Amino acid sequence: MKKTLLIIVITSLAYITHAQIVQSGMTKKIEVIGKAEAEIIPNEIYLRITLKEYKDGSKTIRMNNLESGLVKAILKLSLPDDALRVDNVYGYNWNWKKKRSDEFLASKTFKLKVSDVKMINGLVTNLDSKGLNNLSIAEVSHSQIEVLKTDLKIKALKNAKAKATQLLAAIDEKIGGTLEVQEVNYGNNNPVYGRSNMLLSEGMESDYRSNLEFKNITINAEIRAVFEIQ
């Protein structure tokens, strides 16, 4: 019996946080949370590409050659000049297995913006597989993300009004004017996603053309709204 009462209390408290009727002075008001969510197909995909110098027999393949090959591969994709940016540079010459210093081999990380995940296969086909240390998806977004977020906020506000109207109708009350509107922010709402490593294999078929799309991304909005009760 005690367990049943506890569940009822918790459920009631959770409900009140989403809809609450308050009387302040002569004004009765209702407070609700409106929500809206949308799935969108990303058209901004940011790749993190790491190139690393390597030994080819007695010859060292330096970063200038690797970077030149990357730029040529990107040109074949007809991407704008500002699509590629340097993200980081690092390197060391200590060999932990041999407990001594070897020849310094530098690594350089780039960030490349593409509009279609299908471009990735065309990119890796034209890169030096020995110099390509890592290729991963850093983040995905949409070129109109702020416009889409604004549209969601409007839908969330309409949802709040509809919720308040419905709740008040259940107790024979009518909604009045809007007293307060506040965006509920739980932190960063930018669609940033976990990295998906895509290491190049030397056995990859170069004539394969992928028709697979990248997964949709979800954005959401929550609006706290307070309405007067007539």
Q: Tell me, what's the pLDDT at 37?
A: 94
Q: What is the mean pLDDT of residues 159-185?
A: 94
Say yes or no to pLDDT of 103 above 80. Answer: no
Q: pLDDT class for 200, splitting at 50, 70, 90?
A: very low
Which of the residue ranges 138-147, 177-186, 201-210 would you say has the lowest mean pLDDT?
201-210
229: three-class secondary structure by DSSP = strand
Choose which CATH entry (3.30.565.10, 3.30.70.120, 3.30.70.20, 3.30.470.10) describes domain 44-141: 3.30.70.120
The CATH 3.30.70.120 domain(s) of the chain lie at: 44-141
Q: What is the pLDDT of residues 108-142, one digit of tens each?
A: 999 999 988 888 888 888 889 899 999 999 999 99
Inter-residue contact 111 to 84 (CB < 8 Å): yes
Q: Please count the CA atoms within 13 angstroms of the CA of 147 that sit on its side-chain side.
A: 4
Exposure class string for 17-27: b at 16+ Cβ within 10 A, else e: eebebeeeeee
Helix segments in the chain, DSSP class H: 2-16, 63-75, 119-125, 145-169
Q: Which residues contact 154 (CB under 8 A, 6 or more apart)?
A: none
